[in-house]
Amino acid sequence: MSNTVNILIGLVVLARLCWRQTQKRLVREDRKPTVLLILAVLGVVSLASFFKGGTPGTPAVLLLIGSLIVAALFGLVRAYTVRLWRADGQLWRQGTWLTVALWVAAIAIHIGLDFVIDANSPAKGLGSASILLYLAVSLGAQRVVVQSRANHVVAA
């Protein structure tokens, strides 16, 4: 996929994620992480396609790994901005304005790192090729912590 397509898909996914996270939703343990899996698969396919086209070099790969660590850290922090409550015997969740702000900040950092990665790589586009994987890692980390928090609310 081209860099522009990756970025556009990433922004559409980000907008949808932010919108969905601000909606009141039931916490269900049996829910499959479909969106997360789709993002992860598309992200890996995009990266694999990128690596077929050229070698980015060690500094760029290290920056990419750092970027994915940042994604996970933002996911962990964001998970604590999600409100959890019980109503009518059911557990609910809803992201806050801070949840959305942290999503936007995480993507802004990734885009910034994209420029740094490209500056340190003979093969341009590694950062944009990794945007979907970045979203998957961040969403996955958030999901794990929110579910853990929800389990404690259930036990309380």
Strands (E), the chain: 25-26, 83-87, 90-94
**What domain range includes position 147?**
3-155
Show pLDDT as tens, one digit a residue, over the chain (156 residues): 566 776 777 788 778 878 988 999 988 766 778 888 999 999 999 988 888 877 777 888 888 899 999 999 999 999 999 999 988 888 899 999 999 999 999 988 888 888 887 777 777 888 788 888 999 999 999 999 999 998 887 665
Q: Are 46 and 132 in contact (CB under 8 A)?
A: yes
Phi, psi of 20 (to 5 degrees): -65, -35
In 3-state terms, what secondary structure has residue 155? Answer: helix
Rounded to two decimals, the pTM is: 0.85
CA distance 17 to 99: 10
> How many domains are contained in the chain?
1
Strands (E), 38-131: 83-87, 90-94
Supply 34's token pair: 């479909």
